[in-house]
Structure 1
Amino acid sequence: MASTPVSKKQKTSKDAPYELIYWPGLPGRGEHVRLALEEAGASYTDSAHLEDGMKLVLSHIDTKNLGDAANPPPLAPPILKHGDLIINQTPNILLYLGPRLGLVPKAEDDEDGIYKVNELALTALDGLSNEAHDTHHPIATGQYYEDQKEEAKKKSADYIKNRIPKFLGYFERVLKGEASKGGKWLYGGEVTYADLVLFQCLDGVKFAFPKAVGRMEKEGKFKSVFEHYERVKERPKIKAYLASERRQKYSLGIYRHYAELDED
């Protein structure tokens, strides 16, 4: 006897509201998702601004949560809920949102464009987010900064000298490259979520190392990158968001400013 076929899961409706689930009190990795939603003018809820936001985050990452029939349990925020869909991991969420928010090239115009955008976003996250976090926690994320302060100084000195210039130099080349289509945006001549990711990463690094990054900006070696930063910052919806209460201040998250880690 033939087994009963499993019914296909319906696609999430475009009209379903987006729900961002992230820690209250700091921008963190959730900020990349917020910027995409804000740039697109999408309707969304944010646990950071809900009364029981912390409980909501903890309920999703509780070790007792086994997920459901369609969704494995998320490990950590940011988490996106869209209808029946629940996904986590910042780049994964952006890859999902990109086509729906118009922040990647249309498939019929550039079939592989989404992968180019994702590549650029991943590169920015690698060097200007993940590595930036490791400057203040170079040994163990579970230890206090004060317990690894001397190692953090060494890590930060190398990050300022070698790693920040490496990644800013890379994006300088991207903006000057032919695939940028004009040098205003990273890929294809239109703003994509990769542009928003680079903006947020550079904004965080500027906060963490204001003297070092300020010097780099004055030197002019990465002029296109800093002009790109200002261009994103002045986009109408991004500008309005940055001036609103929805934009949270930096705190004890990925980007932290310790004067002793910055250059003199």
Structure 2
Amino acid sequence: MTSSPASKRQRTSSTTFPPPYELLYWPTIPGRGEHIRLCFEATGTPYTDTCNDDQKTGLNALRTLISPTNKGSPTNPPPLAPPILRHGSLLLSQTPNILLYLGPKLGLAGADDDPNAIYHINQLALTALDGLSNEAHDTHHPIAIGAYYEEQKEEAKRKAADYISKRLPKFFGYFNRVLQGEASKGGEWLYGGQLTYADLVLWQCVDGVNFAFPRAVGRMRERGEFGEVFGLYERVRARENVAAYLESGRRLGYGMGIYRHYPELDAEEAEAEA
């Protein structure tokens, strides 16, 4: 008998106690919730992905939480937007904030004897999200998030050309340098010689920009640039739990979310520099 995606995701032998962590994010797209899913999946932590497990019920719950009429509770201010993490009576939103909370609990926040590890790891995750997620999104919506891509195509071409020629190599170069630095402790992972949530965030960002700009990223690989970053990408993908997740129905395909592939934005280098 084949397990459903939801039962695989929850990965618990108990039918009495649900997974302690609940993720609420828009269904059918990876989006900003994917960084949180990867932390659960990489560590084998049971969780409920409410909107993907039961779209109608999940969306109702999510929309209630982000409704303009929701003023929160005595201990939880209302979230503005997903992703939202529910852990017991605690509600948290904002991807970096959720990762900051989950990292120590899931063993993804560095060595226990390094009191500053969490701050360095958070710094690295925030940098990846800034340059390889937020800026990547803005290439196809440079003028207004609420307007269709087709209403801002010319501006998007200019934004994407600048992103490909200047911003993408800037951030890849930064993380390449981090992996070459002493704080990496060997160059296998970004910080402290062990997998942290910053590595998972960077992996998802690299995977996303590769989907959005396969020609641009392919050119960097062909030139042998940023080998440390691409090496980390392959190491994360090869980890047993991550590989199993990527082959499962739980891994959602890219579409109309943060990372979108428009061939006209993935220009050849000569066009990007024009």
Q: State TM-score, norm by structure 2.
A: 0.89
Q: 1:45 aligns to what?
A: 48
Q: 1:193 aligns to what?
A: 197
- Runs of 5+ in structure 1 lacking a partner? 1-14
Percent identical among aligned pairs is: 64
Q: Does 1:30 align with 2:48?
A: no
Q: 1:237 aligns to what?
A: 241
C-alpha distance 45-249 of structure 1, shift in aligned 2 (>3 A):
same
Give, in angstroms, the shift of residue 16 of structure 1: 6.6
Give, in angstroms, the shift of residue 220 of structure 1: 1.1
Q: Which amino acid aligns with 2:237?
A: K
Which digits, 9 at most, give the CA deviation of each residue in 1:137-166, with x for residues without a partner?
000000000000000000000000000000
Give, in angstroms, the shift of residue 40 of structure 1: 1.3
Which digits, 9 at most, give the CA deviation of each residue in 1:73-92, with x for residues without a partner?
00000000000000000000
Partner Cα distance (2:172, 2:51) in 1: 31
SS at match of 2:256: coil
Partner Cα distance (1:60, 1:106) in 2: 35
C-alpha distance 57-233 of structure 1, shift in aligned 2 (>3 A):
same
Partner Cα distance (1:262, 1:252) in 2: 16
Q: 1:66 aligns to what?
A: 71
- Runs of 5+ in structure 2 lacking a partner? 1-17, 269-274
Give, in angstroms, the shift of residue 48 of structure 1: 3.1
Q: 1:249 aligns to what?
A: 253
Give, in angstroms, the shift of residue 115 of structure 1: 0.2
Partner Cα distance (1:60, 1:164) in 2: 35
Q: 1:75 aligns to what?
A: 80
Which digits, 9 at most, give the CA deviation of each residue in 1:30-61, with x for residues without a partner?
00000001111111000232222222221110
8 Å CA contact 1:174, 1:186 repeated in 2: yes
Partner Cα distance (2:181, 2:191) in 1: 9
Partner Cα distance (1:139, 1:237) in 2: 39
Partner Cα distance (2:144, 2:52) in 1: 30
Partner Cα distance (1:220, 1:55) in 2: 48
SS at match of 1:97: helix
8 Å CA contact 1:208, 1:258 repeated in 2: yes
Partner Cα distance (2:19, 2:218) in 1: 42
8 Å CA contact 1:23, 1:47 repeated in 2: no
Partner Cα distance (2:75, 2:232) in 1: 40
Q: 1:94 aligns with which of 79, 99, 104?
A: 99
Q: 1:151 aligns to what?
A: 155
Q: 1:172 aligns with which of 157, 170, 176?
A: 176
Give, in angstroms, the shift of residue 239 of structure 1: 0.5
Q: 2:20 aligns with which of 17, 29, 47?
A: 17
SS at match of 1:29: helix
Give, in angstroms, the shift of residue 126 of structure 1: 0.3
CA RMSD of aligned residues (A): 1.0
Q: 1:12 aligns to what?
A: none
Partner Cα distance (2:73, 2:250) in 1: 31
Q: State TM-score, norm by structure 1.
A: 0.93
Q: 1:11 aligns to what?
A: none
Q: Does 1:141 align with 2:164?
A: no
Q: 1:85 aligns to what?
A: 90
Q: 1:5 aligns to what?
A: none
8 Å CA contact 2:33, 2:83 repeated in 1: yes
